[in-house]
Amino acid sequence: MVTINVVVVGAGYVGLVTGLCFAKLGHSVACVDVDESKIKALRQGQVPFYEPGLVELLGEQVQEGRISFHTTFPEPTDAAMAVVAVGTPPTPTGSADLTSVFMAVDGLARALPHGAVVAIKSTVPVGTASKLKERLAAQGRPDLRVASVPEFLREGQAIQDVFRPYRMIFGVMDEATEQMLRTVHEGLDAPVVVTDTATAEMIKYASNAFLATKISFINEIANICDRVGADVTQVAYGMGLDPRIGPSYLRAGLGYGGSCFPKDTRALVNIAGEAGYDFQLLRAVVEVNQRQRLEPVRRLKESFGTLAGRVITLLGVAFKPGTDDVRESPAIDLYVALMAEGAVVRMCDPVVRRVRGWISGASKILDVCNDPYLVLAGADAAVVVTEWPEFVALDWRRVARFMRCPVVFDGRNVLKPDEMKMAGVVLLSVGRGCRSPIPLR
């Protein structure tokens, strides 16, 4: 195999895991990040976020001497390929903010040797690779080759997704770039789709938008199930057995969160709008998702009458299990909405320790407890926001005894109704056929 020198710009979820993957494949990797504390931690073998298996993989590759961490570009570098994996957060209008991508590419323009490949892994609007090519040419670097190599990893299982991807998309402008990408990815066993860069960029957005659509669709079905007395978990199972539909992304609940689906769906609505097209379907997907997050507030209000003074415990703050990422977590919207109703809100999560939330127009740091029994004691209701196995495995009989009112809203449909009934819990769920308000003491 050929060893390639690779520079990875951005050492977050995507950059770090990608860098480690290339290192493991035998390449020599330099990771660059502007965040000094992140680089310092990585040099000490610490991963500044929670991702299963990453600390071990980092330790192994540092030991092998195949990966190094920097706060500035090694200038000039002999890297034949650079990967751009910096953040592309949403602007207030919902489109992707490309400031970090431009900074990264401008840095690479000064650092890379002749003919190197600049592979964009950040999720960027369709047409960005072409614009970056022009930007590089304007800086006297028409020789640099720009590619779009979107990333599809899921947080919480990032290593598995990067080492065993469902597919690899190589958006290229010439054959030499395709060849370089094939060489660098040699050893990964997945179908390769070679396209132009705009198509590759669209594959990324369309994939996320489609998965988000499945989620909003099943949440709509769930809301109807509640009104007509059907069980959405069985509906999803029955639907998913049809291979044309498939079982994945049909778990009804409090909707999607995280750093990608919310941002990328809004960005695609914007991309369409800027191209003169109204993406009606996706706009509805976004709207349904926003409404779904607050379903527990409506349902608890129906039952309690008012939430003023009620103690409500949110079980789960991370946007999904297996990560400490709280970006766009439904828990934060729920916290704010419950506080606005006058409730006393407590939060619990096995890995998140604190979270920032906008309360009454001010940004506040909110503490998160890691002992569910502590925050459930004396509570009037609990909401399962994140389906951590720790919450499913609670001694619910014990919990029901020491909650003031043993009401649990299962926002992820992970608790077993029969077991909860036996434990003495009043269970509310999403789409399992119980819409009528349960009058509560």
Ligand X SMILES: O=c1ccn([C@@H]2O[C@H](COP(=O)(O)OP(=O)(O)O[C@H]3O[C@H](CO)[C@@H](O)[C@H](O)[C@H]3O)[C@@H](O)[C@H]2O)c(=O)[nH]1
* Smallest gap from residue 84 Cβ to ligand X (A): 15
Out of 121, 141, 251, 346, the residue judged to bind ligand X by CB under 6 A: 251
Q: Which stretch binds ligand NAD (CB under 6 A): 30-38, 134-142, 181-189, 419-427?
A: 30-38
The residues facing 193 across adjacent strands are 169
Is-catalytic flag, 31? no
Tell me the two tokens of residue 91: 């602007």
Using CB under 6 A as the binding rule, whether residue 322 contacts ligand NAD is answered as no
* Smallest gap from residue 172 Cβ to ligand X (A): 20
| Amino acid code (one letter) for 239 | M
Tell me the two tokens of residue 37: 């504390």
With a CB cutoff of 8 Å and minimum separation 6, the contacts of 423 are: 396, 397, 399, 400
Q: Which is closer to ligand X, CB of 380 or CB of 387?
A: 387
Closest C-alpha among 382, 415, 418 to residue 400:
382
* Smallest gap from residue 98 Cβ to ligand X (A): 16
Contact at 8 Å (CB) between 347 and 372? no
Using CB under 6 A as the binding rule, whether residue 161 contacts ligand NAD is answered as no
Q: Which helix (H) or strand (E) holds 285?
A: helix 280-293
Pure H helices in 112-255: 128-138, 158-163, 175-184, 197-228, 232-240
Q: Among all chains, which residue has been given the structure tokens 């299962």?
A: 410
Q: Which is closer to ligand NAD, CB of 10 or CB of 255?
A: 10
Using CB under 6 A as the binding rule, whether residue 155 contacts ligand X is answered as yes
Work out what residue 215 binds among ligand NAD, ligand X, none; the CB cut-off runs from 5 to 8 Å by kind: ligand X
Give CA separation, 73 vs 23, 103, 192, 237, in Å.
18, 12, 30, 50
Of the residues 21, 31, 225, 260, which is catalytic? 260
* Smallest gap from residue 32 Cβ to ligand NAD (A): 5
Tell me the two tokens of residue 2: 């050929």
Q: Which of residues 114-143 bind ligand X (CB under 6 A)?
A: 123
* Smallest gap from residue 50 Cβ to ligand NAD (A): 12
Q: Which of residues 357-386 bind ligand NAD (CB under 6 A)?
A: none
* Smallest gap from residue 187 Cβ to ligand NAD (A): 21
With a CB cutoff of 8 Å and minimum separation 6, the contacts of 137 are: none
Using CB under 6 A as the binding rule, whether residue 200 contacts ligand X is answered as no
Residue 301 CB burial class (10 angstroms; 0-12, 13-18, ≥19): middle
CA 227 remoteness from chain centre:
31
Q: Which is closer to ligand NAD, CB of 33 or CB of 380?
A: 33
Q: Please state, as a whole number, how many other Cβ atoms lie within 10 Å of the Cβ of residue 226.
A: 22
Out of 87, 165, 171, 258, the residue judged to bind ligand X by CB under 6 A: 258
Q: Which of residues 252-311 bind ligand NAD (CB under 6 A)?
A: 259-260
Q: Which stretch binds ligand NAD (CB under 6 A): 6-14, 75-83, 271-279, 368-376?
A: 6-14
Tell me the two tokens of residue 297: 């507030």
Work out what residue 250 binds among ligand NAD, ligand X, none; the CB cut-off runs from 5 to 8 Å by kind: ligand X
Residue 33 CB burial class (10 angstroms; 0-12, 13-18, ≥19): buried
Using CB under 6 A as the binding rule, whether residue 90 contacts ligand NAD is answered as no
Q: Which stretch binds ligand X (CB under 6 A): 43-51, 62-70, 243-251, 298-306?
A: 243-251
Tell me the two tokens of residue 248: 């994945």
Using CB under 6 A as the binding rule, whether residue 18 contacts ligand NAD is answered as no
Using CB under 6 A as the binding rule, whether residue 331 contacts ligand X is answered as no
Tell me the two tokens of residue 363: 């940004």
Residues contributing to the site for ligand NAD (CB under 6 A): 9-15, 32-35, 38, 85-88, 100, 103-104, 121-123, 151, 153, 155, 259-260
Active site residues: 260
